[in-house]
């Protein structure tokens, strides 16, 4: 009878994902999941950063974060405050567009194009 997989930080994450996030061979990732091998502090840290959503994935290629600023590929800087205010600015613009004939449809079409 084999030993059951011990619950650890890798539980529930496919070995291929563990390998990608920790930058290790898939066999090593499988050993981490089985509890047969202890991950290095660096591999453990990388895994936790990815698991906790603190790493930008490939969909964000060209973007970077410097201190409290998000910088897009064109160099446009967005602060945390601007990101927090985004929903309020969006609501205000939608409300203003509602009162101008034709503006509301144009407003929403711009946002559909951006998605």
pLDDT, tens digit, for every residue of 73-93? 999 999 999 999 999 998 998
Please, which pLDDT band fits residue 2 given cuts at 50, 70 and 90? very low
pLDDT, tens digit, for every residue of 20-45? 999 999 999 999 999 999 999 999 99
Q: Cα dihedral sign for 96, 102, 103, 108?
A: positive
pLDDT of residue 24: 97
Please, which pLDDT band fits residue 1 given cuts at 50, 70 and 90? very low
Of 1-5, 16-20, 59-63, 104-108, give the lowest mean pLDDT range.
1-5
CB 26 within 8 A of CB 17: no
pLDDT of residue 14: 96
Greater confidence (43 vs 68) lies with 43
Please, which pLDDT band fits residue 6 given cuts at 50, 70 and 90? low
Residue ranges covered by each domain of the chain: 1-55, 70-114
Order the strands of the 77-79 sheet from edge to edge: 64-66, 69-71, 77-79
């Amino acid at each position: 009878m084999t030993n059951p997989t011990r619950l650890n930080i890798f539980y529930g994450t496919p070995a291929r994902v563990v390998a990608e996030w920790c930058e290790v061979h898939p066999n090593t990732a499988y050993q981490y999941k089985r509890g047969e091998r202890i991950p290095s502090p660096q591999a453990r840290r990388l895994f936790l950063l990815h698991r906790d959503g603190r790493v930008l994935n490939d969909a964000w290629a060209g973007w970077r974060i410097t201190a409290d600023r998000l910088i897009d590929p064109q160099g446009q800087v967005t602060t945390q405050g601007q990101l927090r205010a985004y929903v309020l600015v969006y609501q205000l613009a939608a409300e203003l567009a509602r009162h101008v004939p034709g503006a509301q449809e144009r407003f929403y079409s711009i946002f559909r194009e951006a998605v």
